[in-house]
Homo-oligomer: A and B are copies of this chain.
Amino acid sequence: MSKGAGFGVDSGPEGPILRIGVIGCGRIGRMHAGIIAREVPGLALGGVADVMTAAAESVSEATGAPVMTIEEMLASPEIDAVAICSSTDTHVDYIVAAAEAGKPIFCEKPVSLNLAEVERGVAAVEAAEVPFMIGFNRRFDPGHESVHDAVAEHTIGDLHLVRITSRDPAPPPVEYVAVSGGIFMDMMIHDFDMARFVAGSDVVEVYAKGSVRVDPAIGEAGDVDTAVVILTHADGTFTTIDNSREAVYGYDQRLEAFGSGGMAVSDNESAHYGRLLTKGGASAEPLAWFFLDRYMPAYRREWAAFREYLVSGGPSPAGGNDAIQVTKIAMAAGQSMREDRPVKISEIG
């Protein structure tokens, strides 16, 4: 789908410099803007936009990039691609507008909480034939990627099992939980993506259990805070996932693939590698605190991958079908939990 050429300006030894416009200047938009502005060779921050002008101005001040309206950004010949970092309910409208404007699109996850909306966005992208990539940052974590590679390169033989643990250090505000789409759509969606990414095989069935153990208010908001899932892939591989909204020891992010030839593991990183041995035993630092600490290298590599995708073409590192599939898996998980039975993906949509 990629045009694979003709983007950017100022071709230097590293190739063209692509100018990215960031739509949405909240926490995650500000982070992406900073990375684009300074940390990825071949990328420049072409402009920032937000319906809240003050948010855009604050990011503009920190990065030197001009404030634009979204309309100006989509019309500007000096913007080579857009990064949609606004609130989830606005994603698809911006995707459609950007696609119609012929702009390549990077969109934060989830594309939408609503499958029909996801499909509408993907259809617009496909009709316009613009490059499209979802911000599944964990695909670009070097440790997780090494697990993917061990499967893809058959280093661990035929894949039998994938095991994912993903626990946040602290729950989000209950107001956020209420509009988040629930743990499967908001949090475990990353793990559904990792399961498909690592296994290289679609998911065909989901069984999910959930409970409220961290905070009763989360239950009152209609969600669970603790969940375990078994995915069955088309090739027979099983993936087990567990999520908790609160791991007091830090951001617990582990991934493991097991096959006929061995096991590939991506382990947690510690805040640092000092430790202490005394009469009482050994003690060490807690884990990295949260995603900005843990996944910053992944976010940088994600942007390098987006640039490479635009410059060199080829399949999207995380494209439209990926968005549709993980949305279906999250919906199936919710249904499975409610009905206490395995749900087939073919039942969804």
Q: How many residues of A contact B (CB 8 A)?
A: 71
Interface residues of A in 96-141 (CB under 8 A from B): 141
Interface residues of A in 241-291 (CB under 8 A from B): 242, 244, 246-250, 252, 258, 260-287
A342 within 8 A of B: yes
Interface residues of A in 153-183 (CB under 8 A from B): 155-158, 160-161, 163, 165, 167
Least CB distance from A24 to B in Å reads 22
Are B240 and A228 in contact, CB atoms less than 8 angstroms apart?
yes
A160-B269 contact in complex given A262-B249, A286-B281, C-beta closer than 8 Å: no
Residues from chain B with Cβ under 8 Å of A269 in the complex: 273
A232 within 8 A of B: yes
Per-position 1/0 for A320-349, Cβ under 8 A of B: 000000000000000000001110000000
Are B276 and A156 in contact, CB atoms less than 8 angstroms apart?
yes
Give the docked Cα–Cα distance between A226 and B145 (Å). Answer: 25
Residues from chain B with Cβ under 8 Å of A244 in the complex: 160-161, 258
Contact partner of A230 (CB less than 8 A), chosen from B228, B250, B270, is B228
List the interface of chain A (C-beta within 8 A of B). 38, 64, 141-147, 150, 155-158, 160-161, 163, 165, 167, 207, 209, 211, 213-214, 226, 228, 230, 232, 236, 238, 240, 242, 244, 246-250, 252, 258, 260-287, 340-342
Are A268 and B263 in contact, CB atoms less than 8 angstroms apart?
no
Are B286 and A284 in contact, CB atoms less than 8 angstroms apart?
no
Q: A228-B240, A238-B242, A280-B286 are in contact. List 5 more A-B contacts (CB 8 A).
A: A157-B248, A248-B261, A266-B274, A268-B273, A282-B285
Least CB distance from A318 to B in Å reads 19
Q: Nearest 3 A-B pairs (CB), nearest first?
A: A146-B274, A262-B278, A143-B274
Give the docked Cα–Cα distance between A90 and B171 (Å). Answer: 53
A213, A276, A280: most-surrounded residue (chain B CB, <10 A): A276
Are B279 and A262 in contact, CB atoms less than 8 angstroms apart?
yes
Are A248 and B226 in contact, CB atoms less than 8 angstroms apart?
no
Contact partner of A246 (CB less than 8 A), chosen from B260, B264, B267, B268, is B260
Give the docked Cα–Cα distance between A263 and B163 (Å). Answer: 17
Are B155 and A278 in contact, CB atoms less than 8 angstroms apart?
yes
